[in-house]
Amino acid sequence: MTYYKTLRGSLLLLLAGAGLAGCEKEIDTYYTEVGGQIPTFLANALGTTTKYATGETVTFELQYAQQTSMLKDVRIYQRIEPSTDSTLVQTVPYRSTFSRTKNADTLVVTYVVPQGVNKANVRVSAIATAENGQSKVRAFTYRLAEPTPTVRINSATNVTAPGTSTPVPGDVVRYNLTLNNGGITSATSLTTAGTLYKDIDSLITYVTVGTQAERRYLRQRVPTAGTQTGAATTLDVPVTIPSSTSGQAVLFRFEVKSRFAGTPNFRASSATSAVVTPGTTTSLAAVRAATLAFTGTTGGDQAAFDLTSFTAVAAASPADTKDVAITSIASNAVQIKALNTTKFVKTTAAIYNAATLNSIRQTYLNAATTAQVATVDGVLVGDVYIARLRNADQYAIFTVTGITRTTSGVSLTMDVKAL
């Protein structure tokens, strides 16, 4: 029995030794390293812009680790649609540029955007190659865009005077423009309809008067708020004809700009308006006094006034002749109202003192629609109002010079300037 146990134990040890020897051989063979490990790209600041223009110079950063085989170089390739082949752009030999901040080797690559057709897709690949021939790739794509924006003047409208009248200094002319006509801001393929443009940055308006040097009149972001775009954009640009320009040629030039990663750092084009030669302003007649008298409970025959004929209007007269009337004196407050289509805009004594037909028309038409009212509550001495008479191109301006309260009603006096 003892001999049997001893023999059995010896056999088990021999078998165990043979098994361990076999396992050790498998481990050695399986884990034998052949050359260095594949180089590793870490976080990379690659291009995220979806469109660039030919000739732009952009930079991107590669961050990588060497592993156990030294890096040999980093090669930059690009493939430009419709080609299916990549071409070598540049080869950057490896050099130690360790960044303590990023805890990695870094390489900033300067890249110039190539020529190609509009909307072509470009793939840029960075390949880090080790001494043992192993490599790793990182890539980004973008599309080629037109760098220079366009601008077209569609129309010009004098918004402070009828189209048949001669413009004068102070008039506001509204120019309607189209930027990047037929443009798009993104594309999904080479055949997408439209021209792919870089995003519009700004629109600058210049003015030239007579023989004077051109000067900048206005700079505006496009759009004034929100995301900028390269797509076709239509907008209105109101400009005021400068003072003291009567009889001189006035020109407005509109320049649209897009940013460009190069020298100069923008691309621009412009369009120039037709010549505007302002005339002289139209003076108003001398000041005339008018009186409104509200009596009893309904106002009586002296409570309304016709500002076109400059006469008082009886209570029984048609409402369309009553441009201004006292309609209430309740709670000791005077209310005036136009009983036809006349409307009022409150203004200042300075406007009254320098009033011309052109200036009061300009002030009225430049006022917000909500400020153009048919009823004025709580009229006070010194108040100044411009009246647009019966929705026509006819205007008057008046200032309240006195309010007298009596036992029978209220008397209101005003000085009026009109043609």
pLDDT of residue 358: 94
pLDDT of residue 228: 96
The number of domains in the chain is 3
Instruction: Give the mean pLDDT of the chain.
Output: 89
3-state secondary structure of 4: helix
Q: Are 260 and 388 in contact (CB under 8 A)?
A: no
Pair of tokens at residue 118: 């509009």
What mean pLDDT do residues 198-216 have?
98
Based on the fold, state whether residues 136 and 191 are members of the same structural domain: no
What mean pLDDT do residues 90-112 have?
84
| Band of residue 4 on the pLDDT scale cut at 50, 70, 90 | very low
Based on the fold, state whether residues 188 and 128 are members of the same structural domain: no
Q: Are 122 and 142 in contact (CB under 8 A)?
A: yes
Q: Whole-angstrom Cα distance, residue 176 to residue 234?
A: 7
Count how many Cα atoms sit within 13 Å of the Cα of residue 29 in the half-sphere of its side chain: 6
pLDDT of residue 108: 85
What mean pLDDT do residues 91-120 have?
87
The per-residue pLDDT for range 211-261, each reduced to its tens digit, is: 999 999 999 999 999 999 999 999 999 999 999 999 999 999 999 999 999
Q: Is the pLDDT of residue 3 over 50?
A: no
Q: Whole-angstrom Cα distance, residue 209 to residue 187?
A: 43
Based on the fold, state whether residues 294 and 366 are members of the same structural domain: yes
Based on the fold, state whether residues 345 and 325 are members of the same structural domain: yes
Residue ending a domain, choose from 91, 124, 142: 142
Q: Is the pLDDT of residue 417 over 70?
A: yes
pLDDT of residue 215: 97
Q: Whole-angstrom Cα distance, residue 24 to residue 21?
A: 5
- Answer yes or no: is 338 within a domain: yes
Q: Are 257 and 268 in contact (CB under 8 A)?
A: yes
Based on the fold, state whether residues 159 and 267 are members of the same structural domain: yes
| Band of residue 43 on the pLDDT scale cut at 50, 70, 90 | low
Q: Is the pLDDT of residue 128 over 90?
A: no
- Here the CATH number for the domain that contains residue 86 is 2.70.50.50
Residue with tokens 């870094």: 106
Which among 367, 365, 361, 357 has a CA at the least distance from the CA of 418?
A: 357
Say which amino acid occupies 213: A
Q: Are 300 and 314 in contact (CB under 8 A)?
A: no
- Answer yes or no: is 26 within a domain: no
Q: Is the pLDDT of residue 369 over 60?
A: yes
What residues are paired with 158 via a beta bridge? Answer: 173
Burial bucket for residue 312 (CB in 10 Å: 0-12, 13-18, 19+): middle
What mean pLDDT do residues 182-206 have?
97
Based on the fold, state whether residues 389 and 299 are members of the same structural domain: yes
Residue ending a domain, choose from 122, 142, 162: 142
- Is pLDDT larger for residue 66 or for residue 400? 400
Which among 258, 257, 241 has a CA at the least distance from the CA of 358?
A: 241
Based on the fold, state whether residues 155 and 137 are members of the same structural domain: no
The per-residue pLDDT for range 18-27, each reduced to its tens digit, is: 444 444 444 4
Based on the fold, state whether residues 295 and 414 are members of the same structural domain: yes
DSSP class of residue 177 equals: E
Contacts of 111 (CB under 8 A, 6+ apart): 57, 58, 59, 60, 76, 89, 124
Based on the fold, state whether residues 190 and 120 are members of the same structural domain: no
Asked whether the CA dihedral 362, 366, 372, 376 is positive or negative, the reply is negative
Question: Which of 38-52, 130-144, 308-322 is least confident?
Answer: 38-52
Q: Whole-angstrom Cα distance, residue 339 to residue 378?
A: 17
- Answer yes or no: is 310 within a domain: yes
Based on the fold, state whether residues 256 and 312 are members of the same structural domain: no
What mean pLDDT do residues 23-48 have?
58
pTM, entire model: 0.79
Question: Cα–Cα distances in Å, from 32 out to 22, 37, 38, 134, 317?
Answer: 16, 12, 15, 17, 114
| Band of residue 75 on the pLDDT scale cut at 50, 70, 90 | very high
Q: Whole-angstrom Cα distance, residue 55 to residue 58?
A: 10
Question: 57 lies in which domain range?
Answer: 40-142
pLDDT of residue 14: 43
What mean pLDDT do residues 320-332 have?
93
pLDDT of residue 38: 61
pLDDT of residue 10: 46
Question: Which of 25-34, 123-132, 341-350 is least confident?
Answer: 25-34
Q: Is the pLDDT of residue 397 over 60?
A: yes
CA–CA–CA angle 412, 351, 172 (5° rounding):
130
Q: Is the pLDDT of residue 94 over 90?
A: no
